[in-house]
Amino acid sequence: NAENIIYSTNDNYLHQYNIKSEKNDVIAINAFYPTFSPDSKNLLYQKKVPGNNPYSIDGSTYPGFAILNLATGKERIVPNTTEPSGYSPLWTPDGTRILFFGNGIEIINLDGTNRTQLTKQGDGLDIRGISDDPLWSSDGHYFMYHSDYNIILLELDLPNKRVITAGPIAYGVAPHWVE
């Protein structure tokens, strides 16, 4: 019904702004890059979680993923997403898994099981220059993005994962599905 806007700020807070009441609430801290579940009942985001990270400023946090139930306000950390860390999480179209960028493109179940690497950095299909708007096919079997100005089509859930590139396309960006 387009009454609320959820956004992240550069100080790592997630806000919910109600257009009608003009109420602006913080709904999560140490959180950024929110994305709605396919049913719009949950919010998935990257979150700083406790850990022993020698690369963080204070040495005590890792980026991981969390899911916020919008009806209850309860947050839960998705296990197995901090070491090694991932970023830019996306729901799969059926809402059962998370696709994210770590050491290449990876996918994991919501409960933290079955973390699987689909591509590796440096394999020519990595995520340098990846699109801000990667796209799922409507059936959830394909994921399309651009990297280094190539259009990459990643087919999921086959015994032999298949990655198809469009080759060296001159500035291949902004792909769209045609159904």
| pTM of the complete model | 0.78
C-alpha distances in Å from residue 172, one per residue of 15, 77, 138, 165: 34, 36, 22, 11
Distance CA 102, CA 117 (A): 9
Question: pLDDT tens, 151-162?
Answer: 777 777 664 555
pLDDT of residue 143: 81
Q: Give me the pLDDT at residue 28, please.
A: 92
Range in 3-7, 60-64, 142-146, 166-170 the model is least confident about: 166-170
Q: Which residues contact 142 (CB under 8 A, 6 or more apart)?
A: 136, 153, 154, 155, 156
* 46 SS3 class: strand
- Residue 143 tokens, joined: 């994921």
Distances (CA, A) of 89 to 27, 59, 64, 74: 18, 23, 9, 19
pLDDT score for 32: 83
pLDDT of amino acid 2? 78
Q: How far is CA 15 from CA 29, 78, 118, 132, in A?
A: 9, 21, 32, 21
Average pLDDT of every residue of the chain: 78
Place of tokens 């899911």: 67
